[in-house]
Chain A
Amino acid sequence: LAKTTQPISMDSYEGQEVNITCSHNNIATNDYITWYQQFPSQGPRFIIQGYKTKVTNEVASLFIPADRKSSTLSLPRVSLSDTAVYYCLVGISTDTGRRALTFGSGTRLQVQP
């Protein structure tokens, strides 16, 4: 069964860099990899998106290897307000040939002072 996996939780301190990796072995050929941030009882919020290699915006970087079977979200110099759950989202090719949008299980990031 195609799966998208992430670490369940991570701890960090303010000012540190945090890297969260998502494995997506069966990513569909034309699909982008998108990362979201979610606070309790709120909808996921877009962080960054990429197709291959490296993408950087004002809040994060996304590293995607050539085979696209994984991706790493990098948050530079985290702050307390970055405490949240982080999800990767990809389209996965299923056994039936259809494409299933699949969120990773989510990584709960706790930033300490």
Chain B
Amino acid sequence: DSGVTQTPKHLITATGQRVTLRCSPRSGDLSVYWYQQSLDQGLQFLIQYYNGEERAKGNILERFSAQQFPDLHSELNLSSLELGDSALYFCASSVDQSGGNYGYTFGSGTRLTVV
């Protein structure tokens, strides 16, 4: 158990639908990061939050949005889903913004399947 909790572990939904992925960071970590990993592909950075504020943005589609709440958990919202959105979505957390102090701790991911 890495200390980063992601729910649900698996999600199957239809095209055009909207889903919410949830992440609870490791205790004491203020930064949360979201990554997308398509089948046999690398990890694509989506977005980072630090203590409730957006800090960095990667290749996140306009159909996707995220937020970090006062209790530091984060949610990634995916809307108007397409088949190509099927992927593993990972959340990671870290103490600070630079990834120092042993870097980022990853959760076990949410596998999203769009049918």
Q: How many residues of A contact B (CB 8 A)?
A: 26
Residues facing A in B1-54 (CB within 8 A) are 2, 4, 33, 35, 42-45, 48
**A89 contact set on B, CB distance < 8 A:** 99, 103-104
With a 10 A CB-CB cut-off, give which of B57, B98, B107, B111 has the most chain A CB atoms. Answer: B98
Taking a contact as CB atoms under 8 Å apart, the answer to whether B102 and A46 are in contact is yes
Q: Which of B33, B43, B48, B99 interacts with A32 by CB under 8 Å?
A: B99
Taking a contact as CB atoms under 8 Å apart, the answer to whether B45 and A46 are in contact is no
Known: A31-B98, A87-B42, A101-B45. A43 touches B57 (CB 8 A): no
Q: How many residues of B contact A (CB 8 A)?
A: 27
Taking a contact as CB atoms under 8 Å apart, the answer to whether A106 and B88 are in contact is no
Taking a contact as CB atoms under 8 Å apart, the answer to whether A101 and B106 are in contact is no
Taking a contact as CB atoms under 8 Å apart, the answer to whether B2 and A43 are in contact is yes
Question: How many whole Å from B90's CB to the nearest CB in chain A?
Answer: 5
Taking a contact as CB atoms under 8 Å apart, the answer to whether A103 and B42 are in contact is yes
Distance A92 CA – B45 CA, assembled complex (angstroms): 12
Q: Which of B42, B45, B100 interacts with A100 by CB under 8 Å?
A: B45
Distance A31 CA – B88 CA, assembled complex (angstroms): 26
Q: Does B67 contact A (CB under 8 A)?
A: no
Taking a contact as CB atoms under 8 Å apart, the answer to whether A98 and B88 are in contact is no
Question: How many whole Å from A109's CB to the nearest CB in chain B?
Answer: 15
Interface residues of A, Cβ cutoff 8 Å to B: 28, 30-32, 34, 36, 41-46, 49, 51, 87, 89, 91, 98-106
